[in-house]
């Protein structure tokens, strides 16, 4: 999310969610959009919104509402300030009809746990970080996410930081891309739920746009399988052990080698098979060192 999200939000009227239905085009030469919408729905079901250390129950509830309006349903919380955040009155009130998303939200102790099963994660952060992925626009990130979901199984995550501090450098480095929401130079502060709403909207538009002209359920038996979050993390740990074993990485003065390696692997967009042979190299390093 962009910098300095506000700590509280103003409640809106307790009306129902906005109409997100997709009408079919009518006429003899107008193809219906319902088949594409069905494909889009399957993609949206695999987009995960991850809130890291959210402070305010109202923001969590409002984020759930923002998601449901656009057809997203997977909400993950990382170390929320209140363990019972999803059942607090403010969260339920601000959800305004999205109570099912709150009830089904998952809670995790770490970002690594929240990203399990994902093949691609986008850090929502406007701040430049050393060795972090270069920023991309929200629309570009949403289209890339939709295409990634079309090409493989698994899930894609958009990761938001806390209202006061945003994402830590370590959290950003666990993601494969970084996205900033372009705002006014005069005032660039977005509330957490507002940022989630923008992301959810762009994800919905991208899912519909990238499926409208595509064949339904394309045959893709020979397509490469992207590496999962768990596979990439295991590779990084394995490589670190190998580099330590051969003396290339000094544990007393590690400097920036491992963050650079993380950035390299993120930029490479590793596939499952590539992770396996890279781990074979790490194993050979350990074997050569006698470990």
- Report the CATH number that the domain containing residue 243 is assigned in CATH: 1.10.8.590
Residue 22 lies in a domain: no
CA 183, 188, 192, 193: dihedral to nearest 10 degrees?
-50
Q: What angle do CA 46, 1, 65 make, to 5 degrees?
A: 55
117 and 181 part of one domain: yes
87 and 200 part of one domain: yes
Residue 111 lies in a domain: yes
Per-residue model confidence as pLDDT tens digits over 220-237: 445 678 888 888 889 999
199 and 92 part of one domain: yes
Q: What one-character DSSP code corresponds to residue 251? A: T
Distances (CA, A) of 233 to 83, 160, 240, 265: 27, 20, 11, 10
Alpha-carbon distance of 132 to 83, in angstroms, equals: 30
CA 238, 242, 248, 254: dihedral to nearest 10 degrees?
30
140 and 275 part of one domain: no
- For 149-158, 168-177, 204-213, 282-291, which range has the lowest pLDDT when averaged over its residues? 204-213
Residue 283 lies in a domain: yes
Q: 61 with 69: CB under 8 angstroms?
A: no
235 and 125 part of one domain: no
**What percentage of the chain has pLDDT greater than the value 70?**
82
141 and 254 part of one domain: no
Residue 5 lies in a domain: no
74-96 burial by CB neighbour count: b if 16+ within 10 A, else e?
A: bbbbbbbebeebbebebbbebbb
Number of other residues whose CB lies within 10 A of the CB of residue 8:
12
256 and 194 part of one domain: no
pLDDT band at 183, cuts 50/70/90? confident
Q: 17 with 69: CB under 8 angstroms?
A: yes
199 and 245 part of one domain: no
Per-residue pLDDT, averaged over 82-96, amounts to: 96
163 and 44 part of one domain: yes
Q: 145 with 122: CB under 8 angstroms?
A: yes
Cut 0.85: pTM above it: no
- Domain boundary at 187, 212, 237, which? 212
171 and 274 part of one domain: no
Residue-range definition of the domain harbouring residue 126: 34-212
- For 129-143, 149-163, 206-220, which range has the lowest pLDDT when averaged over its residues? 206-220
Number of domains composing the chain: 2
């Amino acid at each position: 999310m962009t910098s300095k999200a506000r700590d509280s939000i103003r409640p809106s009227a307790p009306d129902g969610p906005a109409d997100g239905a997709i009408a079919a085009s009518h006429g003899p030469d107008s193809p219906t959009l319902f088949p594409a919408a069905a494909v889009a729905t399957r993609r949206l079901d695999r987009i995960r919104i991850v809130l890291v250390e959210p402070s305010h129950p109202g923001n969590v509830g409002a984020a759930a509402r923002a998601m449901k309006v656009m057809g997203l349903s997977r909400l993950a919380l990382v170390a929320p300030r209140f363990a019972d955040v999803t059942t607090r009155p403010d969260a339920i009130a601000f959800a305004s009809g999205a109570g099912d998303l709150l009830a089904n939200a998952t809670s995790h102790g770490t970002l690594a746990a929240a990203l399990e099963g994902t093949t691609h994660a986008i850090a929502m952060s406007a701040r430049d970080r050393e060795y972090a992925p270069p920023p991309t626009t929200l629309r570009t990130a949403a289209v890339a996410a939709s295409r990634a979901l079309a090409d493989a199984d698994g899930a894609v995550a958009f990761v938001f930081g806390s209202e006061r501090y945003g994402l830590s450098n370590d959290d950003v480095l666990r993601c494969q891309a970084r996205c900033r929401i372009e705002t006014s130079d005069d005032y660039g502060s977005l509330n957490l739920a507002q940022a989630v709403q923008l992301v959810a909207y762009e994800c919905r538009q991208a899912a519909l746009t990238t499926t409208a002209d595509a064949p339904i359920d394309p045959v893709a038996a020979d397509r490469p399988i992207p590496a999962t979050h768990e596979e990439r993390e295991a590779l990084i740990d394995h490589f670190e052990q190998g580099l330590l074993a051969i003396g290339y990485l000094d544990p007393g003065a590690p400097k920036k080698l491992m963050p650079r390696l993380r950035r390299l692997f993120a930029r490479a967009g590793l596939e499952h098979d590539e992770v396996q042979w890279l781990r074979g190299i790490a194993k050979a390093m350990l074997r050569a060192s006698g470990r």
